[in-house]
Every structure is written in C-alpha cells, then in structure tokens.
Structure 1
C-alpha cells in the first residue's frame, strides 16, 4: 500500500499524529510463529528513527523480544479513518539512560509512569511506515 508523503516518518503531520495522546498496538511473532498483539503506550523519536515502549522485564512482550533480539515487530495506532503502522527490528534494553529517555518521552505523550525497578525499554528501529495521517491544518 502506498502512503501519502505526510504519512511518512519525519513529516510534520506524522510527528504530530505520533505525538498526540492515543494508545497503540504492538505486534510481534511468538516462537511458534503466531502473532502476539498487545496494547501499549509508544513514543516516536524522529531524530533517532525509533519507537520506544516501556514495559516490565517480566512481561511477555519484553521476554518475547529479549529472547530473539532483532525480531521484526510493528506498532500501530488508529483514530477514526486515520491510522499509522511502523515496522522494524525490535530490541530490549535495560540501560538506565535508554530507559530514562523512554520514560521521559512516555511522560510527555501520556502521563508520568509509576516507578518500577523492573522497567526496560523495547526499541524498534524503524524500517518502514505506512498509513494515512491527518494533514496539518
């Protein structure tokens, strides 16, 4: 599916769509090949070309990615007729600086998350995006 230029990473409309409050869905393959899909809060970093998702290291989504670094994953969000899906290679990090950056961005988009000693960040290096986001007014 071809997407409009405004629907591509880095465009102002894309950045706004991924900055406004809306929940997302993370999809990743389980070891048996079936799809694990779960609601998440995700943030988009245009400069780093990354999507970040904070999670507990004991969550299935974190364990699923950690056991197979570089696994392909996608994050999607939708609002009415507008939608966007980002695909890329996922990794898990417990590095304090990376986790702190993910928490900071999550707090900007959603709310300050509760404290957790189990927190990690799932980072998806963006390879492809598709969708239809609202044009800037």
Structure 2
C-alpha cells in the first residue's frame, strides 16, 4: 500500500491535527491573543470567520504529514523534527515577514515571536506524526 494512504499515515494526520488544535488553541486563545488585540486593534473581526482557519488547519496538517512526517520510509523522529522546523520556519516566516514588510504598524517583536512559535509548533507536530508512523506502520 502506498505509504501516504496507509492506516499509520491516517493516524499520524489525526494526531497532527488534534495536537495542532490544542497547541494553537493555547497559543492563540491564551498566550498571543492579547498581543494580537493590542497590535491590530480595530482590524480584528468580531466574531471571527471560521472557515478560512479550518481550511488552513486541515491543509497545513496534511502538508506537515506529506513533507515532514512521511518523506522517507525509514525516517527517524529526529529527521522529522528537523524537517518540521524548516517547514514551520518557511510557512510562518512567509506570513510574518510579509506582514511585517507590507503592513504599517505590524510589530517586529510579534513577527519574531510568532515565527519562533510556528517553527517550534511544526517541529513538535512533525515529531508526533512520525512517532505515530513508527508505532503503527509496518515494521
């Protein structure tokens, strides 16, 4: 069976998705929300539109699994951690550095903190996903 269509990969995807929801929920809902509210006062929607971030979560977690968790048959958790960190830095760097470069008032400290968050979070997601592949995949 194709490695991307296996039961272990589905378990890895669900693990990555659930872990990302928990981690990002803590990050956005508790830790970073006051920064966003302060930095973007008057720009934040109330209430938020949910479908765009749902699409992002589903797609981003799939991309994490495809590019960081499953690229090698005998990939180690440490390799997945490194690939996840690079993917997170690229994805969150694109968002944050572009925002900082084109939006007046976009705070540099938020750019750097959120970039670090995305790098660490994606590394953790990739590590957890790879652990699931190693646990539930064919030996």
**Greater strand share, 1 or 2?**
1
Q: Please identify the structure whose Cα radius of gyration is greater.
A: 2
Give the alignment's TM-score, normalised by structure 1. 0.25
Give the alignment's TM-score, normalised by structure 2. 0.25
**Greater helix share, 1 or 2?**
2
